[in-house]
Amino acid sequence: MDLVSLSSTMLYSAFVLYLIATIFFSATIGKKRKESNKGIAGKIGITLTIIGFIAQIVYFITRWIASGHAPVSNLFEFMTFFGMTIVFAFIIIYFIYKLSVLGLFALPVALIIIAYASMFPTDIAPLVPSLQSHWLYIHVTTVSLAQGILTISFVAGLIYLIRQIDQSVRSKRTTWLEIILYSLILFVGFIVTTTAFNLMNYNATFEYPSGNNVLTSEYTMPAIAAPSDGTLITEDVMQPWFETPEWMHGVDAGRKFNTLIWSFISGSIIYVLLRLLLRKRIGAAIQPLLKGTKPDLLDEVAYRAVAIGFPIFTLGGLIFAAIWAEEAWGRFWGWDPKEVWALITFFFYAAFLHLRLSRGWHGEKTAWLAAGGFAIIMFNLIAVNLILAGLHSYA
Partner 1 sequence: MNKIKCECGHVNPEGTVLCEACGKPIEGNQHIEGNDEKKLLNMRYDGTARRSQTYNKSIIDKTWSFFSSVKVGIWLIVLALIASAVGSIFPQEIYIPADAVSRDPAIFYEERYGIFGLIFYQLGFHNLYGSWWYMILIALIGVSLVICSLDRFVPLYKALKKQKAKRHETFLNRQRLFSETEVVSGDEIQKVKARLKKQNYKVRDEDGHILAEKGRFSRWGPYVNHIGLIIILLAALLRTTPLFYTSEYVWVREGQQMVIPGTKGEYHIENKDFTIENYDENDERFSDAITQEGGMVPSNYQTDVVIYKAEESSVPGAEPELKTIIEDDIRMNHPIEFDGYTVYQKGYQLNEFTNMSFKIHETDDSNEEALGTFTIDLTAPESEYELDNGFRVELGQYYPDYYLDDNGEPASETNFPRNPAFVLMVYPPGSDQAEISFLGIGKNIDATGENEYKVGITDFEMHDVSGLSVRKDYTLPFFGLGAAIFMIGVIQGMYWQHRRIWIRPKKDGLLLAAHTNKNWFGVKKDIEKAISDTNIEMVDDQQELDEQN
Residues 56 and 77: beta-carbon distance below 8 Å: no
The amino acid sitting at 250 is G
Of positions 56, 62, 67, 287, contacts partner 1 by CB under 8 A: 67
Q: Nearer to partner 1 by C-beta: 177 or 308?
A: 308
Binding of residue 351 to partner 1 (CB under 8 A) = yes
Per-residue interface string for the shown chain with partner 1, residues 197-226, x marking contact by CB under 8 A? -------------xxx--------------
Phi-psi region of 203 (alpha: psi -120 to 50; beta: other; left: phi over 0): beta
Binding of residue 344 to partner 1 (CB under 8 A) = yes
For 293-363, strand residue ranges (E) read: none
Binding of residue 101 to partner 1 (CB under 8 A) = no
Q: What is the DSSP letter of 131?
A: G
Longest dimension (CA), the chain: 69
The H or E element spanning position 174 is: helix 172-200
> Which residues are bridge partners to 206 per DSSP?
217, 232
362-393 burial code (b ≥16 CB/10 A, e <16): eebbbbbbbbbbbebbbebbbebbbbbebebb
For 154-257, strand residue ranges (E) read: 204-210, 213-219, 225-226, 231-232, 242-243
| Stretch in the footprint of partner 1 (CB under 8 A) among 126-134, 175-183, 252-260, 281-289 | 126-134
d(CA 97, CA 304): 11
The H or E element spanning position 332 is: none
Binding of residue 310 to partner 1 (CB under 8 A) = yes
Residue count (the chain): 395
Q: Nearer to partner 1 by C-beta: 38 or 304?
A: 304
d(CA 308, CA 7): 31
Binding of residue 252 to partner 1 (CB under 8 A) = no
Binding of residue 299 to partner 1 (CB under 8 A) = yes
Per-residue interface string for the shown chain with partner 1, residues 135-174, x marking contact by CB under 8 A? x----------------------------x----------
Binding of residue 372 to partner 1 (CB under 8 A) = no
Interacting positions 15-54 with partner 1 (CB under 8 A): none
Binding of residue 133 to partner 1 (CB under 8 A) = yes
Q: How far is the CB of 378 from partner 1 (least distance, A)?
A: 14
The H or E element spanning position 392 is: none
Of positions 239, 246, 276, 279, contacts partner 1 by CB under 8 A: 246
Of positions 36, 68, 239, 277, contacts partner 1 by CB under 8 A: 68
Q: CA quadruple 101, 118, 341, 322: dihedral positive or negative?
A: positive
Of positions 125, 192, 289, 395, contacts partner 1 by CB under 8 A: 125
Of positions 58, 307, 375, 395, contacts partner 1 by CB under 8 A: 307
d(CA 146, CA 16): 25
d(CA 387, CA 246): 13
Residues that contact partner 1, how many (by CB under 8 A): 70
Q: How far is the CB of 55 from partner 1 (least distance, A)?
A: 22
Contact positions vs partner 1 (CB under 8 A): 4, 66-68, 121, 123-130, 132-133, 135, 164, 210-212, 246-247, 249, 295-297, 299-300, 303-304, 307-308, 310-311, 314-315, 318-319, 322, 326-332, 334-337, 340-341, 343-344, 347-348, 350-351, 354-355, 357-359, 362-364, 384, 388-390
